[in-house]
Chains A and B, each alone.
Chain A
Amino acid sequence: MSNARVLVVDDEPQILRAVQMKLRGAGYAVETAATAQEALMKAGMRPPAAIILDVLLPDGRGTDLCRELRAWYSAPIVVLSAVGEEKEKVDALDAGADDYVTKPFSGDELLARLRAVLRRAAPSAERVITIGGLRIDLEKRLVTMDDQPVALTPIEYDLLRVLAQNEGKLLTHPALLREVWGPAFQEESNYLHVHVSHLRRKIEPDPARPRYLLNQAGVGYRIVDPAEAVLP
């Protein structure tokens, strides 16, 4: 992924600068924009491999920019949001953003998110998914953790499959409900967190400190390979 071009949009010069340095250090080519207007222009002239976007911009909400970009731009978008901007964050995800990082964030965290969304830009059609010690055989519907078979209920299996097929990607609660239960079963949404905790008890070495199936407070869940995960 080195030399992939990333457009960073933030109105705070200090943050823009720090993100720019961090991304350059990791081998990305970085462009910056301080306003939604400038971002649209720069992205339109030379579409970048990914966009990192603050949800609050001086000349318009990042969410609106996100929606506008999505009309023609399909590469990953990661939004930056601060405490107290939870609504904006969820709106941005609904508007087509792939992931988010909460301010204050560490550079490593941002890099990890960026790597994950870029990798996912090319999804695989594998029949067997391996994530760390977790192995899911989609044809036989078999799940093993560190070579030990794991017995899952049908819902737990579907939940795990959907998350694993989107490794690293944040799946929002509505997205998970749609994928696992289908649009007709929205009332089961209540049990999502309960199913997740049952699933964790079956696959996590330490369910109190999950390393595979991670929660993103108030937004959704994602599955990651613990070896690649970065502590915030």
Chain B
Amino acid sequence: MRVRAALFSLVAVALVTGAVYALRPVAPVLSLGVIYLFAVLPVAALWGFRWAVAVSLVSMLTFNFLFLPPTHTFRLANSENWVALAVYLLTAVSVSELSARARRRAAEADRLAREARDTEALRRSDAVKTAVLRSVSHDLRSPITAILTAGDVLESSGEALSGDEREELHAAIRLQARRLNRVVSNMLDLSKLEADAAQPAPELWTVDGLIARALEAIGPENQRIEAVLPEESPPVRVDPAQLEHALVNLLENALKFSSPTDRIELSAETVGREVVVRVVDHGPGIPANERERIFEPFARGANGDVGPGSGLGLAIARGFVQLNGGRLWLESARETGTIFALALPAERIPTAAGR
């Protein structure tokens, strides 16, 4: 550090001295002293005030020794030269101080900016946590409320209920408990995705197999889903649990946002080297200005907080699909209904597997 500063200073002074020597025939030598500022300034900027003062002194001594009469001595012939030298020195020193101060300010500003960035990141992460809590507590509370209410009714007026009514309440408890379970797995998945801890464990599957898994995971509600399998189902190399989860989230989303009498269509086809799965619902659709935002965690439909679901589902679906080399996008721009499309790279399979 020091050696480099010293070397740089010497080289700078030598260079400027050379320049002064070269310019001597075209300008009065006294006025050329100011060029030494080109040596002082970079030193001030790079190594601070002390080094700059040292370089100023060395510069002025060199200037005096080589160029001011009587040359090759440190003495000065007249008062005019004294004044000039003093002014140069003063200028060099003040410029050094100013430059060093600017350097300190820049460092300080850097530090402040860094701190501000850190604080902002903290604040944002805090805001995200608050959003998570709010949204999750809503998602947890509504099934809990449904379970508590059904349990209370069964307990307090069990005898007054018909068999059908009792069965309805039991079914509600089971359904809500399943929903609760899914909120918890969604939360686990999202935290894994955000922490980059969701390493896919790829296996060879067919889209058939993945669709069957997703439909089974959805349970009795899957009767509303009309599944059309492709003629040929090429294998895909994916983590089946992650893809199942992505499909379940898309299907649940479709079920949630369409009326109970509407059918959901689920289809798969091979397009070039990809297998494309589509989930089509006939719900209200998604306004153009919300189309990209829906894949962000905690985004919801326009009716905001009253809508069901935490808005984690689509973010998780896209996260898992991308982890497995696929794409997930919103396809439709129709008046009503929504089409989500999910594309996975098809695996080329050796003929041996066809046995």
Contacts and interface: CB of A to CB of B under 8 A. Distances in A.
Interface in A184-232: 190-191, 193-197, 200-201, 206-210, 214-215, 217-218, 231-232
Nearest to B208: A197
A207 B207 CA distance: 11
B219 interface: yes
Q: How large is the interface on B (under 10, 10 to 19, 20 to 34, 35 or more residues)?
A: 20 to 34
A84 interface: yes
Contact of B181 (A83, A153, A208): A83
A74 interface: no
A128 interface: no
Interface string A65-105: 00000000000000000011000000000000000000010
Contacts of A153: 354-355
A214 B215 CA distance: 12
A218 B208 contact: no
A155 interface: yes
Contact of A215 (B177, B216, B266, B355): B216
B209 A104 contact: no
B227 A209 contact: yes
B212 A194 contact: no
- Interface SS of chain B: helix, strand, loop or mixed? helix
Contacts, number: 76
A191 to B, nearest CB: 5
B213 A207 contact: no
Given A83-B188, A207-B212, A208-B227, A217 B203 contact: no
Contacts of A197: 205-206, 208-209, 212, 233
B268 to A, nearest CB: 9
A81 to B, nearest CB: 13
B106 interface: no
A106 interface: yes
A24 B92 CA distance: 99
Interface of A: 83-84, 104, 106, 153-155, 190-191, 193-197, 200-201, 206-210, 214-215, 217-218, 231-232
Given A104-B181, A217-B241, 6 more contacts: A153-B355, A155-B355, A191-B204, A193-B209, A193-B240, A217-B240
